[in-house]
Amino acid sequence: MAHALKIKSTGRRANLGYREEGMMVDSKVVDLINRVCDGHFLTEDEIICLLGAKAHSPEAGFIMGASDALNRKASDNLAEIHAQIGVNLSPCPRNCTFCAFAAKNNIFKESSELSPESVIELALAAESQGANAIFFMTTGHYSFGRFLEISRGVRERLKPDTVMIANIGDFGQQEAERLKAVGYRGIYHAVRMGEGVDTSINPETRLATVRAAQEAGLLVGTCVEPIGPEHTLEEIAEKIVIGRSMKPCYSGATRRISIPGSEMERYGMISEYRMAFIVAVVRLAMGRNLIGNCTHEPNVLGATAGANLFWAEVGTNPRDTEQDTSKGRGLNVNDCVQMFREADYGIVRGPSMIYNESNTL
């Protein structure tokens, strides 16, 4: 059955109503979006076609508008804010070039971590501020046993229905089952841009972690990240398709934040406009029904192009050179709520609807 959002197109091109030559949307773009509205999942080539729309063109605007309409319909115009607590920092030997914790980037020379009491305090604060889920993040080589111990303490203090999500390094089946047993609803995991080249981690290892998590009954959220200006349309499309193949409960897009002195600083960063455009293509590529799509860092433009999930951050942050990101790049829950209100979104009250079994791809 045709989706209610289906766009009417007559003739070879859809006229937007402007008289000027060129102020029309290419019918190929209209057709692809209509197919998404009919339940089609875009192929990698079709994703590349959308990603290749010229910046600031009617096609780009049309893609962003269509993604916005599709996402609002799927989510019932509701957005979520997930809080992330960065538990530790240390010079990480995994050396992902884009990360502030990478040992080779020389940002943090000593290891440190929040006390279990501080983690509990921050988690309780996020819960009372209305975060729909709370993420606990560590560097890639942090002790799994210690993470479980801290998690257990937090779980005991949070309300039973507060959603806990683990954002940690790679793990196997046993660890996945222990995460589930301690009370995690899901994980965040991604095959990042340049995985295996700009990181020392094999993409297969990332995917094996996702499989282990899902076999243990954990839901997986993912994102196309961290995107820089040097990434080709082909690599972005490849990562969109890999993310989709994980059958996640949400996807999205995040830009790389330049870490001063890192090898990647020379490439610079993509603009919020570009990020919002990619967010739109990711949303369309995930099909018409997924209720979650994220962007980071939070911005209103992204929320008008198909993003309805933002993160509020405290503690350590791989995109920040501040030890406590709440004094640096991190926004709080209320900042994110305000941005969504500016984008005319309502906010989900209570536990995340995105991290929900019935909403995975």
Tell me which residues touch ligand SF4 (CB under 6 A): 92, 94-96, 99, 101-102, 139-140, 169, 199, 318
CA torsion through residues 199, 205, 210, 216, sign: negative
C-alpha to C-alpha distance for 292 and 360, rounded to whole angstroms: 9
Nearer to ligand SF4, 86 or 306 (CB): 86
Nearest alpha carbon to residue 247 among 275, 213, 281, 279: 213
Nearer to ligand SF4, 48 or 92 (CB): 92
Rounded to a whole number of angstroms, the minimum distance from the CB of residue 311 to ligand SF4 is: 15
Nearest alpha carbon to residue 159 among 360, 27, 350, 361: 350
**Crossing angle of helices 333-342/116-129, nearest 10°?**
30
Rounded to a whole number of angstroms, the minimum distance from the CB of residue 318 to ligand SF4 is: 5
Is residue 136 a contact partner of residue 82, using CB atoms and an 8 Å limit? Answer: no
Rounded to a whole number of angstroms, the minimum distance from the CB of residue 340 to ligand SF4 is: 27
Nearer to ligand SF4, 147 or 340 (CB): 147
Residues 6+ apart with CB under 8 A from 41: 244, 285, 287
C-alpha to C-alpha distance for 286 and 166, rounded to whole angstroms: 23
Helix extents (H) in the chain: 27-37, 44-51, 58-75, 116-129, 144-157, 173-182, 203-215, 233-245, 272-285, 300-303, 333-342
Amino acid at 13: R
Nearer to ligand SF4, 199 or 299 (CB): 199
Rounded to a whole number of angstroms, the minimum distance from the CB of residue 21 to ligand SF4 is: 48
Nearer to ligand SF4, 155 or 329 (CB): 329
| Residue number closest to ligand SF4, CB atom | 140
Is residue 85 a contact partner of residue 168, using CB atoms and an 8 Å limit? Answer: no
Instruction: Extract the tokens encoding 124.
Output: 């309780």
Rounded to a whole number of angstroms, the minimum distance from the CB of residue 105 to ligand SF4 is: 8
Rounded to a whole number of angstroms, the minimum distance from the CB of residue 316 to ligand SF4 is: 9
Nearer to ligand SF4, 94 or 155 (CB): 94
Rounded to a whole number of angstroms, the minimum distance from the CB of residue 140 to ligand SF4 is: 3
Q: Which residues pair with 347 in a beta bridge?
A: 79
Nearer to ligand SF4, 79 or 150 (CB): 150
Can you tell me which residue has the tokens 């501080």?
118
